[in-house]
Each structure stands twice: as C-alpha cells, then as structure tokens.
Amino acid sequence: MPASLDRSAAAPAAVSLHGLRRVFGARTVLGGIDLQIEAGQIIALVGPSGCGKSTVLRLLAGLDRPTSGTVLIDGRPVDGIDPRCAVVFQEPRLMPWRTLARNVALGLPPGTPRAEGRAEVLRWLELVGLADFADHRPRQVSGGMAQRAALARALVRRPGVLLLDEPFAALDALTRLRMQDLLDDLQRREGTTVVLVTHDVDEAVQLADRIVLLRPADDGSGAVVGADLQVPAARPRDRADPSLVPLRADLLARLGVPRRAAALDTERVR
C-alpha cells in the first residue's frame, strides 16, 4: 500500500493557480494570479525583490493560505501543508544534530519501509554527489554541499511538484552554476514538475522551460503576471547559446535593466 502511494506521488503533477490573492494587513502582495503549469516542466518565477514570488511558492506548498483564490495540484486543492510538494529554501535548513544521510531521510514519505528508505537515501546522496559525506554533519560541509543535501531531501520525497525558493542565491558563482546543471540533470531524469523562484535572470533562462514574470501593480493592488514567456532552446542548454540572448535582454529590460550598449552610444554622442 505505501509502495503504490509512493508511485502516485512520484508522478509529476500539473499545477494551476486561480485568482490567487494574498493580503498582509493593509498591504496587498498578490493581486489575482492566474497560471497553469504543465506537469513535468520547469517554471521560473522571476520578478523584482519583494514582488511576492516567495509568497506564491509558500501558497503552493500550503505553508500559507491565500486571502482568496485557489491552488490546484492535479485538480485537487491545496489545503494546508501538502504532501505532494517538497520545498527547498534559500538556506539549506539542515538539522545540525543529524548527519547528511539522516537529514535526507527526513524527506522520505511517511510509511516508507526502513530498508527501502535507507536505499533511497543512499541513492539520492549518490545522485547529488554526496555519497562520501553521508555521515558528515551539516557544519562539516560547504554551503553548496549542504544545499545539495537539501535538494536530495526534497527529491527523496518523490514530490509531484518541487518548489525551489531562490535555492542557489546564497552560493558562490561557480557553485551556483554547478548546482544549476545538477538540477537540470536531475529534473530531466526524474521528470518532476519544478517551480523555481529566482531573481537571477541567467538562472531562469538557463533552466526554465517557461518564465513567468511577476509585476507589482503601480497602484498597490498587488503583483500580477506581467509576462509569460516560453524559452526557445531545448534543455540542456549551452550558457552561450545565442538564441537565448534576446530573451535575456527582454527579461532584463522588463525588470528595469535596459541594454547598456544604447546608453553607451548616447554618452559617446555627448
């Protein structure tokens, strides 16, 4: 019985948001978000700081409840903490008293038989490249390794939707690129639906099948979907892929970072 549960949980799930609003006191953060996410895709949610990206993610995970509107995962509403989701936060949030293996084991779906659970933990530690560090404590490993353990903890849950809240933002630049490639590999292998919140346009362009830009309304009525863009190239992508350049420039311009070349030209004219 748990085995069949596991298998159903492992299938990538479709997500839909309908008129999602979230108001904190006098401040409207989300002003009615509508979004359909196909199963098995990576969706990047990008937007300026404080625009409500993380709020969307918390509503998806059931960590927060919408003021109005609904979140559906495979057609069933999210009501409280949802076992079909697994979250990775910006911080690894590992339990410092547990080894990496025991931390990953925390993500196992409830009712997993012991032996199967141990095998799964080892398999995921291997997949994220931490097989040799299973017995290390979180304080003994680097930030990147800790975040890989956090990723393994989420994936061992075999979630229908993997929710990533700026998961690589606190890592150094090179580690971040390696983590992006790792996530790309793992997602293509497992087919998990991924919602990736990021403020890193390069990261979104590199990883996402689709990029959704949240835009805060000028009148303070909360963020709405400002753009919904398909990423043209197939994954895995080369970081220097020229077909991605216009998309990157477009996104940056929408986020208030216009192309520099034009600015330089006007300066030269002066």
Partner 1 sequence: MTLAETPAQAPPEEPRPAAPGRGRAWARLAAGLIPPLILLGVWQLVAASGAYSTAQLPPPADVAAGLGELIERGELWRHIAISVQRVLLGYAAGAACGLALGALVGLSAPARALLAPTVQALRTVPSLAWVPLLLLWMGIGEAPKQTLVAIGAFFPVYTTTAAALAHVDPQLVELGRAYGLRGVGLLTKVLLPAAAPSVVNGLRLGLAQGWLFLVAAELIASSMGLGFVLIDSQNTGRTDLMLLAIALLALLGKTSDAALGLLERRVVRGRT
Q: Which residues bind partner 1 (CB under 8 A)?
A: 61, 63, 81, 83, 85-87, 89, 91, 93, 95-98, 106-107, 110, 127-129, 133, 136-137, 139-145, 148, 153, 157, 175, 178, 182, 185
**Of residues 81 and 245, the one with the C-beta less far from partner 1:** 81
CB of 75 to partner 1, least distance (A): 21
**Of residues 137 and 235, the one with the C-beta less far from partner 1:** 137
CB of 73 to partner 1, least distance (A): 15
CB of 97 to partner 1, least distance (A): 5
CB of 105 to partner 1, least distance (A): 10
Give the 3-state secondary structure of residue 210: strand
The two three-digit tokens of residue 158, written as one number: 């075999």
How far is 185 from 78, CA to CA, in rounded Å? Answer: 28
For residue 42, what are the β-bridge partners?
Answer: 194
**Of residues 134 and 227, the one with the C-beta less far from partner 1:** 134
CB contact at 8 A, 50 and 203: no
**Of residues 186 and 208, the one with the C-beta less far from partner 1:** 186
Q: What are all long-range contacts of 92-96, with beta carbons under 8 Å and residues at least 24 apart? A: 92/138, 92/143, 92/146, 92/147, 92/149, 92/150, 93/150, 94/138, 94/146, 94/149, 94/150, 94/153, 95/138, 96/137, 96/138, 96/139
Expressed in angstroms, the distance from the first to the final Cα of the chain is 74
CB-facing half-sphere around the CA of 68: CA atoms within 13 A: 5
**Of residues 33 and 141, the one with the C-beta less far from partner 1:** 141
CB of 83 to partner 1, least distance (A): 6
How far is 215 from 207, CA to CA, in rounded Å? Answer: 21
CB of 53 to partner 1, least distance (A): 17
**Of residues 94 and 214, the one with the C-beta less far from partner 1:** 94
Longest pairwise C-alpha distance within the chain: 74
